[in-house]
């Protein structure tokens, strides 16, 4: 188990506590007083220190705790202070002020084993995190050297974004975050406090930088580093607006929940002349063809997983729209997989140009204008094209187009109407051959009525609207989607399957965050799972909470199909009857006292009451549709 240092001044209490810890399977080291405890703590390498409140004469427990927390190498070892006699609230407060992790009074001593388990588990997670950080530091150093050499060779000297990326690659970021698989900031440096605000630790990236896509960018960096994500933060009471560049380095060591190191560079601190480039090509030219071909094989309508009616309709609509040239508007809730659909539309079509994307809610109006239409150079710098010019014969995906300022909406509509574009620094217009795919979670017609969206642009985009169904309308696909995500995330952790209880809970959860939430849940579960199987305890907190609310019967897996003799025989009409002419749900004294028997009869009666309408039967029984179908299959009811 663990190595525990016991510091106790009373011989009798010391003997009792030592025996109790040994019975729990721990290796126990004993110190008779505070001074001896300090010496043993430095030499023993203990996983946890159990400190008595009453050490007798000599150094007090408060002084021992304070000195241990000030000793390098020991400040991360949890210290649990216990009182075998009556203690006051002031004493407990003083021990917490000295840095102890827990104060255990005598009423809680019977639960000492559980308290120890909790703090040892926290200590183990901290040790794993420290080891991952050490491995990450070595990997980061290697990658930084490689990126720095490549950046020096490819980036123009006048490009501040490239200079910012080079600054990150050289290991000189303006701020650093450590983010877990759920997008929660676990640790940060002083630079991150200055850039993003003082209260970011323990907060999700979606709240720190809402609506800009940073959370998704960080989450998608799973096995390889990602760099060059530009976004802006709005002005708040505790911080000024910032224009930032982010890079992500994922951890690859250990079996616990994966972590990501996010590096930030403040463009406001990079005082370089000239403009910036929206596309810093970092892929060797000879590899581009193979990568595009791989993308065309990957992003096909068949990549939309599922067999529900909503999924089949979506797959059919995607195949129909792929070869068309006009704009397409993807209308659906956030996190429904709009970017995947946009890529499928591009790579399944005949276009040979690039697929570029822009999150309209991530940048200021000035930055959006430069990204879309380009920026003219000054006396010291050259002009840089915008995304519209770089997307010739390709596709430009505008995420959350409803956030595009109305002035830029009008300018974009004018460019699309004329079909020509005047690049910055050019003397004549060029023909525009760029397909626009936009996504929105708001109805554009309602925005036009409010005066918040350009009517002509809304009409142009609304000519082909593709509704993206939320995940709650694709419940039949949830388990299949989860299994597909398991293949992506589970291989790194040796996780191969979902327990039947997990599959049942996943099918019942409403998924307000849609595919993005399911993906985050599966990634978190794969990091937490052990023994190759994901259980309820490995899921994210909202899904676990639902599992406690659902009737246990609804998530108990079937023990196998019923025997042919137990299966009811359906006959024409709306009533199900047994061979003897009795109603199939009739309960007799001959029925065994078995829950499955009564559950089957309830199902049969509900179907009879609803005339065989399974959806109405599910509502009558107050269960989900997927739960009803699963139980009908369990009992062989057709």
Q: What is the pLDDT of residue 317?
A: 93
- Determine the Cα–Cα distance for residues 431 and 418; give it in Å rounded to an integer: 9
Per DSSP, the three-state class of 397 is strand
Name the more confident of 595 and 120.
120
Lowest mean pLDDT among 154-158, 405-409, 556-560: 556-560
Q: What is the pLDDT of residue 268?
A: 65
Domain annotation for the chain: domains and CATH numbers: 3-107 (3.40.50.2300), 136-269 (3.30.450.20), 285-467 (3.40.50.300), 471-555 (1.10.8.60), 564-634 (no CATH)
Q: What is the pLDDT of residue 344?
A: 94
Beta-strand pair 48-52/79-82: parallel
Residue 43 burial by CB count (10 A; 0-12/13-18/19+): exposed, middle or buried?
A: exposed
For the cut 90, the answer to whether the pLDDT of residue 381 exceeds it is no
For the cut 90, the answer to whether the pLDDT of residue 338 exceeds it is yes
- Residue with token string 């649990």: 80
Q: What is the separation of C-alpha 258 from the centre of its chain, rounded to a whole number of angstroms? A: 11
Q: What is the separation of C-alpha 79 from the centre of its chain, rounded to a whole number of angstroms? A: 33
Q: What is the mean pLDDT of residues 253-273?
A: 65
- Determine the Cα–Cα distance for residues 248 and 245; give it in Å rounded to an integer: 10
- Determine the Cα–Cα distance for residues 68 and 554; give it in Å rounded to an integer: 51
Q: What share of the chain is helix, strand, coil (3-state, %, to 5)?
A: 45, 15, 40
pLDDT tens across 495-551, in order?
A: 889 998 899 899 989 999 999 999 999 999 998 888 889 999 999 999 988 887 764
Q: What is the pLDDT of residue 277?
A: 38
For the cut 60, the answer to whether the pLDDT of residue 339 exceeds it is yes
pTM, rounded to two decimals:
0.53
Q: What is the pLDDT of residue 380?
A: 53
Q: What is the pLDDT of residue 282?
A: 52
∠ CA 504-507-510, rounded to 5°: 130
Residues in the chain, how many? 638
For the cut 90, the answer to whether the pLDDT of residue 256 exceeds it is no
Q: What is the mean pLDDT of residues 196-224?
A: 82
**Which 8-state DSSP code applies to residue 561?**
P
Q: What is the mean pLDDT of residues 396-415?
A: 93
Q: Which contiguous run of DSSP H or E holds residue 153? A: helix 112-154
Q: Which contiguous run of DSSP H or E holds residue 190? A: helix 190-196
CA distances, 440 to each of 318, 329, 330, 445 (Å) = 17, 8, 6, 12
pLDDT tens across 88-105, in order?
A: 888 888 888 888 999 988
| Phi (first) and psi of residue 561, to 5 degrees | -70, 150
- Determine the Cα–Cα distance for residues 56 and 44; give it in Å rounded to an integer: 23
For the cut 50, the answer to whether the pLDDT of residue 574 exceeds it is no
**Which 8-state DSSP code applies to residue 52?**
E
pLDDT tens across 150-184, in order?
A: 655 554 444 444 555 555 555 567 888 888 888 88
Q: What is the pLDDT of residue 392?
A: 83
Lowest mean pLDDT among 12-16, 25-29, 424-428: 424-428
CA distances, 171 to each of 165, 175, 431 (Å) = 10, 11, 42
Range list of H helices, 556-613: 595-609
Beta-strand pair 102-104/79-82: parallel
Q: What is the pLDDT of residue 612?
A: 82
Q: What is the separation of C-alpha 55 from the centre of its chain, rounded to a whole number of angstroms? A: 47
Q: What is the pLDDT of residue 572?
A: 35
- Determine contact, residues 265/174, Cβ cutoff 8 Å: yes
Output the CA torsion sign for 612, 613, 616, 617.
Answer: positive
| Residues above pLDDT 70, as percent of the chain | 82
- Determine the Cα–Cα distance for residues 172 and 1; give it in Å rounded to an integer: 41
Beta carbons within 10 angstroms of residue 579's beta carbon: 8
Q: What is the separation of C-alpha 268 from the centre of its chain, rounded to a whole number of angstroms? A: 29
- Determine contact, residues 488/354, Cβ cutoff 8 Å: no
Lowest mean pLDDT among 250-259, 566-575, 620-629: 566-575
Beta carbons within 10 angstroms of residue 305's beta carbon: 17
Beta-strand pair 394-399/355-359: parallel
465 Cβ partners below 8 Å, 6+ apart? Answer: 328, 329, 331
Q: What is the pLDDT of residue 331?
A: 95
Q: What is the pLDDT of residue 589?
A: 65
**Which residues on adjacent β-strands are paired with residue 533?**
497, 530
Q: Which contiguous run of DSSP H or E holds residue 436? A: strand 434-440
For the cut 90, the answer to whether the pLDDT of residue 471 exceeds it is yes
233 Cβ partners below 8 Å, 6+ apart? Answer: 195, 196, 208, 209, 212, 239, 241, 242, 244
pLDDT tens across 620-631, in order?
A: 787 777 788 888
pLDDT averaged over every residue in the chain:
80
Tokens of 401: 């187009």
């Amino acid at each position: 188990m663990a190595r525990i240092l016991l510091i106790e001044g009373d011989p009798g209490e010391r003997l009792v506590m030592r025996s109790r810890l040994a019975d729990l399977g721990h290796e126990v080291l004993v110190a008779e007083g505070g001074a001896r405890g300090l010496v043993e703590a430095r030499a023993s390498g203990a996983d946890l220190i159990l400190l008595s409140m009453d050490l007798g004469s000599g150094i007090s427990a408060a002084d021992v705790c304070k000195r241990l927390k000030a000793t390098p190498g020991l400040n991360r070892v949890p210290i649990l202070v216990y009182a075998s006699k009556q203690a006051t609230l002031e004493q407990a407060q003083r021990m917490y002020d000295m840095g102890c992790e827990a104060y255990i009074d005598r009423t809680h001593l019977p639960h000492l084993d559980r308290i120890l388990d909790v703090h040892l588990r926290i200590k183990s997670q901290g040790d794993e995190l420290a080891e991952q950080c050490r491995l990450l530091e070595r990997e980061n150093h290697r990658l930084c050297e490689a990126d720095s050499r490549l950046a020096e060779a490819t980036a123009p000297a006048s490009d501040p974004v490239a200079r910012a990326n080079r600054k990150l690659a050289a290991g000189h970021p303006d701020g650093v975050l450590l983010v877990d698989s759920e997008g929660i900031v676990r640790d940060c440096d002083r630079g991150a406090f200055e850039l993003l605000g003082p209260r970011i630790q323990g907060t999700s990236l979606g709240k720190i930088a809402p609506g800009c896509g940073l959370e998704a960018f960080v989450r998608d960096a799973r096995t390889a580093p990602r760099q060059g994500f530009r976004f802006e933060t709005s002005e708040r009471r505790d911080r000024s607006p910032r224009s930032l560049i982010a890079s992500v380095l994922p951890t690859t060591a250990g079996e616990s929940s994966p972590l990501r190191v996010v590096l930030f560079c403040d463009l406001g601190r990079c005082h370089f002349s000239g403009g910036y480039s929206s596309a810093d090509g970092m892929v060797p030219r000879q590899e581009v063809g193979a990568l595009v071909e791989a993308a065309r094989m990957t992003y096909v309508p068949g990549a939309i997983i599922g067999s529900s009616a909503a999924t089949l309709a979506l797959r059919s609509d995607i195949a129909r729209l792929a070869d068309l040239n006009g704009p397409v508007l993807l209308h659906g809730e956030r996190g429904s997989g709009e970017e995947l659909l946009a890529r499928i539309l591009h790579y399944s079509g005949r276009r040979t140009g690039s697929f570029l994307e822009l999150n309209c809610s991530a940048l200021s109006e000035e930055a959006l204008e430069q990204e879309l239409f380009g920026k003219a150079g000054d006396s010291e710098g050259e002009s840089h094209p915008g995304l519209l010019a770089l997307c010739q014969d390709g596709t430009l995906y505008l995420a959350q187009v409803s956030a595009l300022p109305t002035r830029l909406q009008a300018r974009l509509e004018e460019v699309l109407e004329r079909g020509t574009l005047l690049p910055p620094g050019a003397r004549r217009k060029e023909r525009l051959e760029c397909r626009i795919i936009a996504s929105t979670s708001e109805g554009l017609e309602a925005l036009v009525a409010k005066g918040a969206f350009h009517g002509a642009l809304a009409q142009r985009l609304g000519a082909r609207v593709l509704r993206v169904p939320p995940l709650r309308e694709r419940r039949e696909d949830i388990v299949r989607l989860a299994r597909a995500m398991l293949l992506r995330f589970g291989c790194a952790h040796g996780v191969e399957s979902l327990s039947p209880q997990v599959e049942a809970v996943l099918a019942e959860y409403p998924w307000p965050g849609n595919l993005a939430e399911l993906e985050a849940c599966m990634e978190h579960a794969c990091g937490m799972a052990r023994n190759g199987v994901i259980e309820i305890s490995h899921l994210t907190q909202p899904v676990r909470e639902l599992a406690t609310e659902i009737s246990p019967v609804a998530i108990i897996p079937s023990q196998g199909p019923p025997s042919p003799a137990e299966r009811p025989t359906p006959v024409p009409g709306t009533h199900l009857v047994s061979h003897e002419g009795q109603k199939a749900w009739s309960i007799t004294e001959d029925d065994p006292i078995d829950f499955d028997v009564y559950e089957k009869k309830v199902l049969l009666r509900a179907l009879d009451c609803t005339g065989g309408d399974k959806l109405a039967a599910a509502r009558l029984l107050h269960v989900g549709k997927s739960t009803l179908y699963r139980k009908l299959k369990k009992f062989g009811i057709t």
